[in-house]
Chains A and B, each alone.
Chain A
Amino acid sequence: MNEKVLSRQFDLPHLHKIDVYLENGGYEAVRKALRLRPEEIVEEVKKASLRGRGGAGFPAGIKWSFVPRVDKPKYLCVNADEGEPGTFKDRYIMSHNPHLLIEGIIITSYAVGIHLAFIYIRGEYEKIAQRLEKAIEEARNKGFLGRNILGTGFDLEVVVHRGAGAYICGEETALLESLEGKRGHPRLKPPFPASVGLFQMPTVINNVETVANVPLIILNGADWFLSLGQPKDGGTRLFSVSGMVERPGVYELPVGTPLRKIIFDYAGGVKNGRKLKAVIPGGMSAPILLPEEIDVPMDCESVMKRGSMLGSAAIIVIDETVPIIEVLSKVTKFYSHESCGQCTPCRIGTSWIHKIVKRMASGQGRKDDLKEIERLASQIKGRTLCPLGDAAALPILAIVNKFRAELEAMLPQ
């Protein structure tokens, strides 16, 4: 069964060029959307249960409806700061089909009443940023961007804005700070960006994959979209599968596809026929799962019930040959490096834990090290402004809990 929807045309040569895109039905969704009333689009996307594809899984249509219908500037920020370790699906979308994203941006902006949109893309994706800029220019030349789009009176400009290597800027309020020309320090919420966002104006922030789904919903309808996925979680997801599998890559599958099926049926199973040891199901921030836990359907709620999260749907597969301390030290190194430094528990806690883990890895562990890691991680959890604190603490606690015996064996008795 061919479940590809969003990525169904990605194999077409030169799809990133507007002429090829137009020959294959491109910008039909924009033409249709601009004939609808903005509220109709918001309702349709709400009905489709399109949940955010960046990590938090918040329903996009509801987010849009929080934006007040006031007469002041409003902004759209497309989050293309793909930095969650294990995630590479937005790279895949933007490099294969930049015009699909631009269509989504036009429809989203029209629905919310926005005339200036930013694509905040991580600086390392320079080549993809250039491709987006080229596509924007092409779209403008064809009358899909700029003033009076397709004669409807609707104006929209899109700016590609490059980040500069800070994971935290994928957090939506840090992204706003960064886009205002500041350090990426997250803001206290509320107020939420929908009411007070970029330069204090109402702002919508959506992930690339979320926005790229909007044209499909407009063309095919909310009922169709819902029928692909789950009742409260519509559509498909682009699963980034990496680590020790036979066929790493992006797999577009219905929301709710079981994790086991993705790893074994689609990605070819564990490399070299080895045994599975653990799986990270939703990017590095998602608590690790054991082999007996992978029959979970990959939708937001099911994975949460299993004690982890779907996050960015990035699956990292770890086989039996890998000492768990190696996984743990990669997790602690990452968060100690990426903590923005604003909240003390996260700034101090992540680097303190990493220090302990390094000492354990070098055979210098102390008797109470695991207890100390748990104490520190528990003090980060729930005590920071932004979700990075929990994103660091929860995976660390899960690894310690699920692999306690292996880790304890490294310590003096």
Chain B
Amino acid sequence: MSAPVFEVIRKEIEAILPRYPRKEAALLPALHIVQRKLGFIPPEGEKLVAQLLEIKPVRVREVVTFYTMFTRKPLGKYHLQVCSNLSCSLAGGESILKYLEEKLGIKAGETTPDGRFTLSTVECLGACDQSPCLMVNDDLYGQLDRAKVDELLATLE
């Protein structure tokens, strides 16, 4: 871990602290900052957050391990999160997942060896009118079929 990136993280976290009545309330946003900068939350990131928020590192760890969006291991450059809930599966979400597994050569929960793609299943993304849908990092893609998946993957280099 290079020190400059931790300096950036420190500055960003310090900037959001005044928004909250108590520092510890900034824990989730602070962890989002760490994950955005590093791609995941390593122990050094937890320690830095604990120090800035004046809480014990174990308090940070228990929160990191509770929330599905936080990850303690690196993800691929593109994180494909396929909705596996009811409305999407009624619209063929499971075949979209299977198709992605075939195309990427990995199972849900895995990352391609070149580090480009991580494939995950997630619960309802709140876009059931566009089912079946998935997210690539922060962007939502809906009304998917195989052709649209091909198109999407071609844009992700």
A318 to B53, CA, bound (A): 48
* Residues of A close to B124: CB separation below 8 A: 83-87, 284, 334
Please state if B129 and A161 are interface contacts (CB–CB under 8 Å): no
Query: Within residues 205 to 253 of chain A, which ones have a CB less than 8 A from any CB in chain B?
Result: 240-244, 248-250
Please state if B126 and A181 are interface contacts (CB–CB under 8 Å): no
A326 to B19, CA, bound (A): 45
Query: Within residues 27 to 53 of chain B, which ones have a CB less than 8 A from any CB in chain A?
Result: 27-29, 31-32, 53
Query: When the two chains form the complex, which single residue of B27, B31, B53, B85 contacts A85, counting CB atoms closer than 8 Å?
Result: B85
Query: When the two chains form the complex, which single residue of A73, A83, A327 contacts B126, counting CB atoms closer than 8 Å?
Result: A83
Please state if B69 and A85 are interface contacts (CB–CB under 8 Å): no
A159 contacts partner chain B, Cβ-Cβ < 8 Å: yes
A152 to B82, CA, bound (A): 48
* Nearest 7 pairs of A and B residues by beta carbon: A181-B27, A242-B128, A165-B68, A164-B67, A165-B69, A85-B124, A181-B24
B87 contacts partner chain A, Cβ-Cβ < 8 Å: yes
* Chain B nearest Cβ from A116, distance in angstroms: 7
Extra contacts besides A167-B123, A181-B24, A183-B66 (4): CB < 8 Å: A85-B85, A124-B126, A164-B28, A314-B128
Please state if B85 and A182 are interface contacts (CB–CB under 8 Å): no
* Residues of B close to A116: CB separation below 8 A: 21
Query: When the two chains form the complex, which single residue of B19, B26, B90 contacts A181, counting CB atoms closer than 8 Å?
Result: B26
A166 to B31, CA, bound (A): 15
- Interface size counted on chain B using CB atoms at 8 A: 42
Please state if B20 and A159 are interface contacts (CB–CB under 8 Å): yes
Query: Within residues 69 to 97 of chain B, which ones have a CB less than 8 A from any CB in chain A?
Result: 69-70, 84-87, 89-91
Query: Can you sample 30 A-B contacts with CB below 8 Å?
Result: A83-B123, A84-B124, A85-B124, A85-B128, A87-B124, A87-B128, A88-B129, A127-B139, A159-B20, A161-B28, A161-B29, A162-B32, A164-B70, A165-B70, A165-B122, A182-B27, A182-B59, A183-B62, A199-B25, A242-B128, A243-B86, A243-B128, A249-B129, A280-B86, A316-B86, A316-B128, A322-B90, A331-B86, A333-B84, A334-B123
Please state if B85 and A88 are interface contacts (CB–CB under 8 Å): no
* Chain B nearest Cβ from A313, distance in angstroms: 13
Please state if B128 and A88 are interface contacts (CB–CB under 8 Å): yes
Query: Within residues 151 to 197 of chain A, which ones have a CB less than 8 A from any CB in chain B?
Result: 157, 159, 161-167, 178-184
A161 to B30, CA, bound (A): 11
Query: Within residues 329 to 373 of chain A, which ones have a CB less than 8 A from any CB in chain B?
Result: 330-331, 333-334, 337-338, 340
B11 contacts partner chain A, Cβ-Cβ < 8 Å: no
Please state if B21 and A91 are interface contacts (CB–CB under 8 Å): no
* Chain B nearest Cβ from A169, distance in angstroms: 8
A390 contacts partner chain B, Cβ-Cβ < 8 Å: no
A371 to B151, CA, bound (A): 48
Please state if B89 and A330 are interface contacts (CB–CB under 8 Å): yes
A318 to B86, CA, bound (A): 10
Residue of A whose beta carbon sits closest to that of B124: A85
Please state if A124 and B129 are interface contacts (CB–CB under 8 Å): no
B118 contacts partner chain A, Cβ-Cβ < 8 Å: no
B106 contacts partner chain A, Cβ-Cβ < 8 Å: no
A231 to B127, CA, bound (A): 32
A165 to B138, CA, bound (A): 13
Give the size category of A's interface with B.
35 or more
* Residues of B close to A240: CB separation below 8 A: 128-129
* Residues of A close to B68: CB separation below 8 A: 164-166
* Residues of A close to B152: CB separation below 8 A: none
A85 and B87 contact, Cβ closer than 8 Å, known pairs A163-B28, A166-B67, A250-B129: yes
* Chain B nearest Cβ from A199, distance in angstroms: 6
* Residues of A close to B87: CB separation below 8 A: 85-86, 242-243, 248, 316
Please state if B28 and A183 are interface contacts (CB–CB under 8 Å): no
A260 contacts partner chain B, Cβ-Cβ < 8 Å: no
* Residues of B close to A184: CB separation below 8 A: 66-67
B135 contacts partner chain A, Cβ-Cβ < 8 Å: yes
* Chain A nearest Cβ from B34, distance in angstroms: 12
A85 and B63 contact, Cβ closer than 8 Å, known pairs A116-B21, A123-B69: no
A82 contacts partner chain B, Cβ-Cβ < 8 Å: yes
A91 and B127 contact, Cβ closer than 8 Å, known pairs A159-B19, A181-B53, A243-B87: yes
* Residues of A close to B5: CB separation below 8 A: none
* Residues of B close to A3: CB separation below 8 A: none
* Chain B nearest Cβ from A195, distance in angstroms: 17
Chain A 102-138 interface 0/1 with B at a Cβ cutoff of 8 Å (1 = within) = 0000000000000010000011111100000000000
* Chain B nearest Cβ from A88, distance in angstroms: 5
* Residues of A close to B21: CB separation below 8 A: 73, 116, 198-199
B149 contacts partner chain A, Cβ-Cβ < 8 Å: no
A83 to B19, CA, bound (A): 25
* Residues of A close to B126: CB separation below 8 A: 82-83, 87-88, 90-91, 122, 124-125
* Residues of A close to B111: CB separation below 8 A: none
A162 and B135 contact, Cβ closer than 8 Å, known pairs A122-B126, A316-B87: no
Query: When the two chains form the complex, which single residue of A91, A165, A334 contacts B67, counting CB atoms closer than 8 Å?
Result: A165
* Chain A nearest Cβ from B53, distance in angstroms: 7
A124 and B28 contact, Cβ closer than 8 Å, known pairs A181-B53, A240-B129, A316-B87: no
Please state if A123 and B32 are interface contacts (CB–CB under 8 Å): yes
Residue of A whose beta carbon sits closest to that of B20: A159
